Amino acid sequence: SQKIEQNSEALNIQEGKTATLTCNYTNYSPAYLQWYRQDPGRGPVFLLLIRENEKEKRKERLKVTFDTTLKQSLFHITASQPADSATYLCALHSGNTPLVFGKGTRLSVIA
Amino acid sequence: GAVVSQHPSRVICKSGTSVKIECRSLDFQATTMFWYRQFPKKSLMLMATSNEGSKATYEQGVEKDKFLINHASLTLSTLTVTSAHPEDSSFYICSARRGRSSYEQYFGPGTRLTVT
């Protein structure tokens, strides 16, 4: 069955540093990979979508890579700020199939 | 923007009663809406996919007679938890897609259901 692993349940990082979160998957060949941010007691917020034929995508301080050979996506937040503290979820799908979510990584940016 | 609202944000009900949760897309038409359930420190679990004007597609293990979904218009989907039990207590979140060719999902703020 499909398996998505976000390797770190929690990640602590110093303000100003780059946070790197990992998403690995098995038994799946997704055409799309998405990253969401979720704050406690709130619904997820869409951040970025990357397609299987795209190696990298950027949006402001965010950068996502998608390596279909390694079956891995890396999510980077540069110049991290305490306001970036949240849980970050990766999700996979192919076309109109439903999103399959990982468990998330809880990021804490320490001032 | 793409705003999705949910109502109520919190609800407490007694065992055996039914609870209705509304999900609205406020500034766009959502051809497809999704209902998720999330347990503490766990990922989102898809319960069902709801297309406007047709019956919802439920995921394996989700009882369609217990979790009634209605997608009556392009901006409104409802989830009714019937004959609620304490084990139904959870965080329920809906999401919507703008159109069939758009893959980003816009999530509501969630509804915390507590069944006593």
Q: What is the rounded CA–CA span in Å between residue A47 and residue A21?
A: 14
Count Cα atoms within 13 angstroms, Cβ side, for B55: 6
Residue B100: pLDDT band (50, 70, 90) is low
Closest B-chain CA to A90 = B43
Q: What is the pLDDT of residues A68-100, one digit of tens each?
A: 999 999 999 999 999 999 999 999 988 778 888
What's the rounded mean pLDDT across residues B51-57? 86
Residue A31: pLDDT band (50, 70, 90) is confident
Average pLDDT over chain B reads 92
The full DSSP string for A38-59 is E-TTS--EEEEEEETT-SEEEE
Residue B55: pLDDT band (50, 70, 90) is confident
| Bridge-based pairing state of the strands A105-110 and A10-14 | parallel
CB neighbour list of residue A11: distance below 8 Å, 6 or more residues apart: A19, A21, A105, A106, A107, A108
Query: With an 8 Å Cβ cutoff, is B28 touching chain A?
Result: no
Contacts of B109 in chain A (CB under 8 A): 42-43
Please answer whether residues A86 and A104 qualify as being in contact, where contact means their C-beta atoms are separated by less than 8 angstroms. no
Cis, bond preceding B8 (omega within 30 deg of 0): yes
Higher-confidence residue: B92 or B103?
Answer: B92
Q: What is the pLDDT of residues B36-50, one digit of tens each?
A: 999 888 889 999 998
Residue to mutate among B31, B34, B44, B93, with most A CBs inside 10 A, is B44
Q: What is the rounded CA–CA span in Å between residue B12 and residue B19?
A: 9
Closest CA–CA distance from residue B5 to any residue of chain A (Å): 10
Closest B-chain CA to A88 = B43
Identify the pLDDT of residue B2.
82
What's the rounded mean pLDDT across residues A39-59? 93
Closest A-chain CA to B112 = A41
